[in-house]
A and B are shown apart, each in its own frame.
Chain A
């Protein structure tokens, strides 16, 4: 029963994602259809056209296994073997430094905004 429910709900979410893709394609919008899909589901829930139980089980499963869906793309780096052999260390340094910079500044900025926000 749980499996059938998951398959049906994931199928529905996939359908919405594909619909989003179709719309961005037809109207030549420069962003992924899945972002439009988030908006659709959110509005359908907000308008109570669909209830949370209709999508929640499948959605939770997809989010819990999110990392799985990135793995084949990560394996794709193998095609840039040469580029990675020559520049790999630089990529690693740049990405690590930049990620740490982003995390520290975002974290401190958020903490500051939250303190200021408390005064509202």
Chain B
């Protein structure tokens, strides 16, 4: 009963936030920011356990998997564009992924976080399912990584528009790469708001960053401790 209710409230808060966000484009109204805030407040005030909530919303989370598979469609549609910029994307994403891992761990050390938290932070710049997988492999806490990924998404969609405005970054490919590398799925959604080419590049960047991070993180992270 409560589980079913969790499902309905999650969907309703999402639809509501989306309508509000469309009217007033403030990042604080972005569903990724406002929905978890509302839902956590509800769980705490009505003393609903996370287990109950998760049981009811399991299928929402499960849909992330076919949603990732769905990215095959924009990749296929824009394959000519991707071929044209293959080298730029490969080198840019390799650089971006390395900086993401190194800067996460280094800044984390600066703030005296425990090694387990550093490992949980390392894969935070890529999409949730892959990030959780890597976190597990290198000895982090996958659930903590999931929340770091979400915070990354929020930070990215807050900072992204300012960075695009202030820095001399004009090429559609650069804009897509910046958003896809910096803020995974959330950045990709924002890139689609700019244009379909930016969106396609961002989605490819997100996927390539995931694959590169799978290979780089387990080798790089032990050296950073």
Contacts from A to B (Cβ < 8 Å): 10, 13-14, 16-18, 20-21, 30-35, 37-42, 45-46, 52, 55-56, 58-60, 62-63, 65-80, 83, 87, 90-111, 113-114, 117
Contacts and interface: CB of A to CB of B under 8 A. Distances in A.
A96 B35 CA distance: 20
29 contacts: A13-B70, A31-B211, A34-B129, A39-B72, A41-B76, A55-B70, A55-B72, A59-B71, A60-B70, A63-B70, A66-B185, A67-B30, A72-B53, A72-B57, A75-B39, A75-B40, A75-B43, A76-B50, A77-B36, A90-B108, A90-B111, A95-B148, A98-B103, A104-B163, A106-B96, A107-B164, A114-B173, A114-B174, A117-B88
Nearest to B170: A111
Looking at B36, B124, B137, B170, which has the most chain A CB atoms within 10 Å of its CB? B36
Given A99-B182, A106-B181, A110-B171, A68 B147 contact: no
Contacts of A108: 167, 169
A46 B75 CA distance: 11
B70 to A, nearest CB: 4
A79 B49 CA distance: 9
Given A90-B111, A97-B107, A71 B36 contact: yes
B68 to A, nearest CB: 4
B215 to A, nearest CB: 9
Contacts of A62: 63, 66-67, 70
Contacts of B104: 94-95, 98
B66 A42 contact: no
Contact of A100 (B79, B155, B181): B155
Contacts of A92: 151
Contacts of B66: 10, 13-14, 16-17, 34, 37, 62
B103 A67 contact: no
A58 B70 contact: yes
B224 interface: no
Looking at A20, A106, A108, A117, which has the most chain B CB atoms within 10 Å of its CB? A106
Interface residues of B, number: 103
A34 B177 contact: no
B69 interface: yes
A67 B71 contact: no
**Majority-rule SS of A interface residues:** helix
Given A110-B174, A111-B168, A83 B144 contact: yes
Looking at B85, B175, B181, which has the most chain A CB atoms within 10 Å of its CB? B181
Contacts of A42: 72, 75-76
A32 B92 contact: no
Interface in B164-223: 164, 167-171, 173-175, 177-179, 181-183, 185-186, 188-189, 192, 203, 207, 210-211, 214
A47 B164 CA distance: 38
Contacts of A30: 133, 137, 214
